[in-house]
Amino acid sequence: MKNYLTKTIILSFFILAGCSSNDDASPEVIIDPTVPPDDAMTTANAASFMVDVNATKETTALFYNLKRLSKYKTAIGQQDAFNSFYQDAGGESDIKKNTGSDPAVLGSDFMFITDKNNNGQSNNWFYQQELKIISDVKNAYAKGIINTFSWHLREPNKEESFYVADMTSDQKATAFKSILPGGANNEWYKKKLDKVASVISNLKGANGELIPIIFRPFHEFDGSWFWWGADFCTADEYKKAYQFTVDYLKNTKGVHNILYAYSPDNSYLTVEDYLTRYPGDKYVDVLGMDNYGDLKNGNDGYNKANAKLKMLSIAAKTRVKIAALTETGYQVTATTPPINNWFSTNLYNVLHDNRVFDLQFNTISYVLFWNNTKDGYYVPNGTVSNASDFKTFAEKPRSALLNSLPKMYEMPK
């Protein structure tokens, strides 16, 4: 522990240290199935390091294989990859249009699924979105893609927005506290969780097996743009809400195909800062970070992002958890041009420059870009000026799209 804390303290001094360039001529990284993901973990005891010791075998395999993958590669994915396209150009995902391969990770959201206007009727737009999301998740799983869910839960008063900018001062001060056990809206929150549990429990593969998902509730909580943000609840209240969410889904509803992700934004500068609202190892499988801000601020920002991922990786290794860049991107629009080599050089080095403290292995298991829209994109399709930059990034030795992703839902023999 002393050595770990020393590394943590020293690492904070590397915030402004430069990222090294990676060797483009490196041989292709091959995943050796005989190498365990961590000295403490084996195929036999993997579940003991998870939130849910009764997780399904496919969910346990996903946890194990993400840890193993992170020694060699980072899986690349996108939010709403099969339904959100630049310039509304449908068909294959924009990633596949560019690279020829499906993404390795698909991001979805429970927002429309739990919306107050979702009445479960076939002609209801929100229910149609629910069916579309469920279909995408099932298709992704059938292909071997990793599924992850965020939840932009609308506030419990009028259920119209998840942004505090749309709330009154009183609503901001009381909304989060009200969903805690004993709070005025705890029953309301349980009903929302009931819906989430119902959907997850009915995500099944071709043989009737439950489809594993990664779920990251109350994300970007260190900021104050969402009603669960740092200005609107104490660290203890946040922990209690997160713990209640996990306990309710796992114990009360009996859902056993979830990995749970803890994902602040990028405000932290030390591991201690990062863990300020951490609900505990018994409640978290994935240590994540959402980071947009650092990755648009030139070399200083790239260096900060890299240092933060190193801190996150050390924390994940110490706890035998999965490390991930759970949300990121640089959006290109008509008024915001692309940055030269943003993917193939800048982001790749942020993810893979691990020189500090002899971290001579990859530690970030996956990276998720946000969704493309008609008017802007985070991932270029094959028609835009920086398409080749992303393709080069995706083809680098430590990057993984679906075409180089191992079987994630089976334990290695």
Give the pLDDT of residue 40: 85
109-155 pLDDT per residue, tens: 999 999 999 999 999 999 999 999 999 999 999 999 999 999 999 99
Q: What pLDDT is recorded for position 354?
A: 65
The Cα–Cα gap between 134 and 254 comes to 20
**pLDDT value at residue 407:** 97
The per-residue DSSP string of 178-246 comes to: HTSTTSTTHHHHHHHHHHHHHHHHT-B-TTSPBPPEEE--S-STTSSSBTTSGGGS-HHHHHHHHHHHH
Q: What are phi and psi of 58, to 5 degrees?
A: -70, -35
**Residues in contact with 76: Cβ distance below 8 Å, sequence separation at least 6, in sequence order:** 95, 103, 104, 105, 366, 367, 369, 393, 394, 399, 400, 401
Contacts of 386 (CB under 8 A, 6+ apart): 332, 338, 340, 342, 343, 380
Cα separation, 81 vs 154, whole angstroms: 23
Contact 67, 43 (CB under 8 A): no
Q: How far is CA 401 from CA 25, 98, 258, 354, in A?
A: 19, 12, 22, 21
Question: How far, in whole angstroms, is CA 87 from its chain's centroid?
Answer: 25
Angle (nearest 5°) at CA 363 between 360 and 369:
135
Q: What is the mean pLDDT of the chain?
A: 91
What residues in the chain have per-residue pLDDT under 50?
Answer: 1-30, 356-360
Q: How much is the pLDDT for 35?
A: 56
> So what's the pLDDT on residue 19?
47
- Is domain 2-14+40-404 given the CATH code 3.20.20.80 in the classification? yes
Three-state SS for 146?
strand
Listed by start position, the domains of the chain span: 2-14+40-404
Report yes or no: 113 and 199 within 8 Å, Cβ to Cβ: yes
Looking at residue 163, what DSSP letter applies? B
Cα–Cα distance between 283 and 266 in angstroms, integer? 21
Q: Which residues are catalytic?
A: 220, 327
CA atoms within 13 A on the CB side of 371: 15
Confidence at residue 10, expressed as pLDDT on a 0 to 100 scale: 36
Beta-bridged to residue 75, according to DSSP, are 366, 400
Task: State how far the Cα of 232 lies from the Cα of 164, in Å rounded to an integer.
Answer: 9
Report the amino acid identity of residue 366.
Y
> Cβ of 362: how many Cβ atoms within 10 Å?
21
The fraction of the chain above a pLDDT of 70, given in percent, is 88
R_g of the chain computed on alpha carbons: 20
